[in-house]
Amino acid sequence: MSQKTYLPTDETPPPSHIGATLEALASTIATRREAGEESYTHRLLTGSVDDVLKKVMEEAGEVALAAKDVESWACSSLAAALAVEGDAGVASDEGSLGVELPAEYFDAVNHLRYETADVVYHLLVVLERFGIDLDEFAAELNNRMTDDERPQGGVRLHDDCVKRGN
């Protein structure tokens, strides 16, 4: 845990699979700082900051496009189902139209997951490059939640480390 964060003494940290995965990835990224030039991550960590920032922007754009693809497949499938079911006047008990989505929809969802992982990877590289560890990042996210929303045992930022709008 960094000097900027703390864990309330009466709370225990929550177990998390995503936490373990992000910690392992962050550790791998950190070790790549010492790798040679053949390492893509090493080049992002030690080269021009513009290189990694361009990748973040590029990957964020790809997430947006992938999400639009998912939405497009979902909407076109729903529209087709509405047209057919509108004629028959049939809907299921749960309020769902029982739409069977095409395989392309699931391909689009898989692509969205892939592109989102690229963004997270590149964001973790940015955090490592500037010395922000995962506890500090988690504390920033936790500070944005109310006490009721924050996970039991979630790390927090010390007040002197909270800088909003700066």
pLDDT at 21 over 50: yes
Can you give the pLDDT at residue 105? 84
Q: What is the set of domains in the chain, with CATH numbers?
A: 5-161 (1.10.287.1080)
Tokens linked to 58: 């590029």
Neighbours of 91 (CB within 10 A): 14
Average pLDDT over residues 37-65: 97
In the chain, % helix, strand, coil (3-state, to 5) comes to 60, 0, 35
The b/e string for 92-129 (b: 16+ C-beta within 10 A; e otherwise) is eeeeebebeeeeebeebbebbeebbebbebbbbbbbbb
Q: How does pLDDT run across 148-165, given as a tens digit for each residue?
A: 998 888 888 888 888 877
CA 23 to chain centre: 14
Residue 95: band (very low, low, confident or very high) from pLDDT cuts 50, 70, 90: very low
Evaluate if residue 143 carries a pLDDT over 60: yes
- The pLDDT assigned to 125 comes to 98
- The 8-class DSSP code of residue 73 comes to H
The pLDDT tens digits for 53-94 are 999 999 999 999 999 999 888 888 766 665 555 554 443 333
When pLDDT is averaged across residues 35-57 and rounded to a whole number, the result is: 96
Taking the C-alpha atoms of residue 36 and residue 6, their distance in angstroms, rounded to an integer, is 35
CA dihedral sign, ordered 14, 17, 31, 49: negative
Q: What is the mean pLDDT of the chain?
A: 84
